[in-house]
Structure 1
Amino acid sequence: MGLPQNFLVSSVTLLLAVAMAVNACPPSDREALLAFRAALNEPYLGIFNTWSGTDCCTKWYGVSCNPETKRVADVILRGESEDPIFEKAGRSGYMTGSISPSVCKLDSLTTLVLADWKDISGEIPSCITSLPNLRILDLIGNKISGQIPADIGKLSRLTVLNLADNRIAGALPPSIVNLNSLMHLELSNNKLSGEIPSDIGKLSMMSRALLSRNQLTGSIPSSIANIYRLADLDLSMNQITGSIPAQLGSMPVLSTLNLDSNQLSSEIPTSLLSNGGLSILNLSRNSLEGNLPDVFGPKTYFTQIDLSYNNLRGSIPKSLSSAKYIGHLDLSHNHLCGPIPDGSPFDHLEASSFANNDCLCGMPLRTC
């Protein structure tokens, strides 16, 4: 005698429900996401309309889970995206609200991206430093204020910290040097003040350090030269004083160094201009003194050298004409004197590259 039809239907339904529950995110993760969403308002694209149902692992916009544990692993919400939802709307994203501390209950989170929404404000929840697996924290392009959490150094697996283009103030927390896995540090265009930690050289994995357009003071720590993977260092548009550490010129992979618009003084280290790997060097708008080092040669390859608006004296080194390549050279607004050397790169530079010096002459300026 067979089983009743309604028994079979209910059994299948129960089995399906159990299977869906097994594959769904845990209720605690779902509740944390909904509380996170409740603190935000996205009025134009409707991306949060997808955050419905019991399973936040599937079809919730910007949310993905660990396939084995079904725990929420990534929350990636970018206000500038090539996603069809943006293309269809024909606009970039706009979101208000703040980052709810409920996000800290997602204790398997590896990636939190809440970037380029223009108007998210409030502070970074201090509990964010309790997320043991967090690898990427990207909050660029909002109006986030307050300070960087003091215990940020507890995020031992963090590889990317991007808080650029916000309103974050205060000093760099001393614990930041404990981010042993950090590769990309981007804090540009904020209101950070105080000095760069003297032991920042402990960040041995870092390849980019972008801290421009802040209010940083003090000197450039010589320990930066210990970061042998560092390729891009930008400390421009701050209030940094003192001399440029000569050790920066011996860094093996440093290719871009922007120190412009600070209050740096003393002479330009010879090692910077003789570094064969350095491609972009901007030291403009400081108070650098002395002569231009005569250290150029056949291995010299710069796409850009900008030394304008300083107090450099003496003549332009003739060895510059022996360089393999120099794309853009700006020596304007200094106190240089004497004839401009012949040949490359001087034969393709405009007069503006040499303007407002004491007594330079020769092409492309007046004849000597």
Structure 2
Amino acid sequence: MKVTIIYLAVVLLFVGVVTSCPPSDREALLAFKSGLTEPYLGIFNTWTGTDCCTNWYGVTCDPTDSRVNDIILRGESEDKIFEKTGRSGYMTGTLSPSLCSLDRLTTLIVADWKAISGDIPSCITTLSHLRILDLVGNQITGQIPTDIGKLSKLTVLNIADNKISGEIPPSIVNLNRLMHLDLSNNQISGELPSDLGKLSMMSRALLNKNQLAGSIPSSIGTIYRLADLDLSMNKISGSIPSQLGSMPVLSTLNLDSNQINGELPVSLLSNSGLNIVNLSRNSLDGYLPDVFSSRTYFSVLDLSYNKLKGAIPKSLSSAKYIGHLDLSNNHLCGTIPTGFPFDHLEASSFTNNDCLCGSPLMRVC
């Protein structure tokens, strides 16, 4: 009987050890907490006691060894703690390098807190298990860590809506498992890496509202899974690579408000998979390719504020569907075709061209 009791005591002691987070993980979390101030919701009030795996808001541990796996803190959430206060989150402070001690971390989400500032700790690239890094919606400054490419398991990199500057590190192309890249609405400058096409698993690349310059790398056309590419509102120049028109999955292409020139690639407007195309506010010239067919389906086709010339292709009338078409502010000339989709478009879609005439414009041919 005594042997049995001793055995049970040992088992219970062992269970107690593995179900409580290691002191080093707890200390790292408390150091992370000490760098932040959250005055309204009180989420850090739950970070008490010795076991950070139990009831610490936003913290999840591996059930097998009780190491901290996930930190998920969203300032905009449907969680009851937000419902009770009737407000979104607000947090000030900086991200402590103590996070880098959590070497089993797979998810780090500290998103939409509006006022977290400071740099992304450079040591974050030592977290070899990290799969999701989401810091969207803060006021984080500094640069993307130079050796970000070391995070070989990363699938999501979202640092949008911050104040990050500097160039995109060349090592980013080593993130060969990356599926979602969002760097939008920052102050990132320099050129896009020429070998960006190495990110072969990527399905979304959102880099709009930055200060990116240089040309669009043709290697992007080799990213088979890419469905959404947004480079709008930058300082990108050069021509549109024809390879973009051959991408089998690409559905949304936003290149508006740049300094892109050259002619429209024929392959781009004949790609039946493209659904939303916005190339407005550039310096595109040449003629509109007469390549539309019964497979053409555009929810949005915006080519306004360019230098396009010639006539509107009659083949546009054979399109299966065109929801929004804007050809205004170009140098187009000739008769606007009749029938669908022209019979439901407003005059604003055609204004400020050299010599377009016919309905819906008031100019008679």
Corresponding letter in the other structure for 2:187: K
The question of 1:117 aligning with 2:113 is answered yes
Counterpart Cα distance in 2 of 1:17 and 1:87: 40
Report the 3-state secondary structure (helix = DSSP H, G, I; strand = E; otherwise coil) of the residue aligned with 1:43: coil
The question of 1:291 aligning with 2:256 is answered no
What is residue 89 of structure 1 aligned with on the other side? 85
Q: Select 1:147's aligned residue among 132, 136, 143.
A: 143
Counterpart Cα distance in 2 of 1:323 and 1:352: 20
What is residue 192 of structure 1 aligned with on the other side? 188
Structure 1 residue 212: deviation in Å?
0.1
Q: Select 2:297's aligned residue among 286, 301, 315.
A: 301
Counterpart Cα distance in 1 of 2:14 and 2:210: 54
- Structure 2 CA distance for partners of 1:256 and 1:342, relative to 1, 3 Å: same
Q: Select 1:72's aligned residue among 63, 68, 73.
A: 68
Counterpart Cα distance in 2 of 1:197 and 1:224: 10
What is residue 179 of structure 2 aligned with on the other side? 183
What is residue 173 of structure 1 aligned with on the other side? 169
Corresponding letter in the other structure for 2:131: R
Structure 1 residue 21: deviation in Å?
2.9
TM-score w.r.t. length of structure 2: 0.97
Structure 1 stretches lacking a partner, 5+ long: none
> After superposition, where does 1:1-368 map in structure 2 within 5 Å?
19-366=15-362, 367-368=364-365
Corresponding letter in the other structure for 1:237: M
Counterpart Cα distance in 1 of 2:82 and 2:18: 33
Counterpart Cα distance in 2 of 1:176 and 1:22: 36
| Contact kept in structure 1, 2:18 and 2:64, CA below 8 Å | no
Structure 1 residue 69: deviation in Å?
1.5
- Structure 2 CA distance for partners of 1:49 and 1:15, relative to 1, 3 Å: farther
Counterpart Cα distance in 2 of 1:156 and 1:122: 25
Counterpart Cα distance in 1 of 2:263 and 2:173: 29
Report the 3-state secondary structure (helix = DSSP H, G, I; strand = E; otherwise coil) of the residue aligned with 1:272: helix
Counterpart Cα distance in 1 of 2:334 and 2:70: 61
- Structure 2 CA distance for partners of 1:15 and 1:54, relative to 1, 3 Å: farther
Counterpart Cα distance in 2 of 1:67 and 1:357: 66
Structure 1 residue 333: deviation in Å?
0.5
Corresponding letter in the other structure for 1:69: D
Structure 2 stretches lacking a partner, 5+ long: none
Structure 1 residue 58: deviation in Å?
1.1
TM-score w.r.t. length of structure 1: 0.96
Report the 3-state secondary structure (helix = DSSP H, G, I; strand = E; otherwise coil) of the residue aligned with 1:347: helix
Structure 1 residue 247: deviation in Å?
0.6
Corresponding letter in the other structure for 1:27: P
Counterpart Cα distance in 2 of 1:130 and 1:16: 35
Structure 1 residue 257: deviation in Å?
0.3
Structure 1 residue 186: deviation in Å?
0.1
Q: Percent identity?
A: 74
Write out per-residue CA displacement over residues 71-93 of structure 1, whole angstroms, 9 at most, x where no aligned residue. Answer: 00000000000000000000000
Corresponding letter in the other structure for 1:67: P
Write out per-residue CA displacement over residues 289-309 of structure 1, whole angstroms, 9 at most, x where no aligned residue. Answer: 011000000110110000000
Structure 1 residue 322: deviation in Å?
0.2
What is the number of equivalent residue pairs in this alignment?
362
Corresponding letter in the other structure for 2:232: S
Report the 3-state secondary structure (helix = DSSP H, G, I; strand = E; otherwise coil) of the residue aligned with 1:150: coil
Report the 3-state secondary structure (helix = DSSP H, G, I; strand = E; otherwise coil) of the residue aligned with 2:173: helix
| Contact kept in structure 1, 2:158 and 2:183, CA below 8 Å | yes
Counterpart Cα distance in 2 of 1:204 and 1:18: 45
Structure 1 residue ranges (4+ consecutive) displaced by more than 3 angstroms after TM superposition: 11-19
Counterpart Cα distance in 1 of 2:76 and 2:13: 37
Structure 1 residue 17: deviation in Å?
6.1
Write out per-residue CA displacement over residues 206-227 of structure 1, whole angstroms, 9 at most, x where no aligned residue. Answer: 0000000000000000000010
Counterpart Cα distance in 1 of 2:12 and 2:34: 30
